[in-house]
With several copies, the nearest count.
Chain A
Amino acid sequence: MRLAVFLSEYKEPAMLERLKAEKLGIVLVQNGVYHAAVKKDGKVSPVLSKDVEYYALSEDLQSRGFSDSDVVDGKVKVINYEGLVDLIFNDYEKTIWL
């Protein structure tokens, strides 16, 4: 399956380790964007250590004081709500909001 996992909080949900999918995307929204925008003790969030697609919502980055270019890891693609709509319809079949 092609699965988009929405992560809305700044923690590492146990479920994230378990989910398998042919194509897996992790969409950082709301407080999930901190995974993309800050390092803790100098380290990038463990959430970003998987070999999957990553996205972060621009509106939620900006609300919290970050610009799109503040993203700490180049593999995270910054998208806006319009991009998110395309992602949901074109790139993935199923979604899970953690």
Chain B
Amino acid sequence: MAIKKIAFIVEKLPYKSETSRLALTHAIASQTVEIHLEDGDNVEPVLIFVGEGVLNCLKEQKALDMYGVTSLEMHIKNALLLDLKVLVCKEDLDTFGLTEDSIVMDAEEIGGEVTTEVVPYDEIQKNLESADHLMFF
């Protein structure tokens, strides 16, 4: 019986490359990882947005209308719907003049119960320390 914590850290911007999208889809894949593991073992993901990566969290992304690809906004909502822990760096939001009003904070309209946590970088550093493995996207 063991839980391994994996931190998925997103620091890249969305869309230009596929990187931040793959961070989300891999983190969400933690929902089905049990089938590969022994009883009681599991992976606990934490999704972390830092630096320019916080711009992935903006609301009103029209990527599906414009380019036919799911927006990062929708991916983050899916993560929240599946009760993933989502942390966004407070200092980096401040850098871009963003507040909780500008970013995806919940997935209520699709039935999600957990919310995005805006936290200082110190809290993120603690999560990097407590994680067993780091995946930096």
Contact = CB atoms under 8 A, between A and B. Distances in A.
Direct contact between the two chains A and B in their complex (CB within 8 A): yes
Interface of A: 1, 3, 8-10, 14-15, 18-20, 30-31, 34, 38-42, 59-60, 62-67, 94-98
B13 A15 contact: no
B77 to A, nearest CB: 13
Given A10-B13, A31-B16, A38 B59 contact: no
B112 interface: no
Contacts, number: 74
B66 A42 contact: no
Contacts of A30: 15-16
Nearest to A13: B11
A63 B71 contact: yes
A84 B9 CA distance: 23
13 contacts: A14-B51, A18-B50, A18-B121, A34-B13, A38-B96, A40-B95, A42-B97, A63-B67, A64-B58, A65-B62, A94-B133, A94-B134, A96-B9
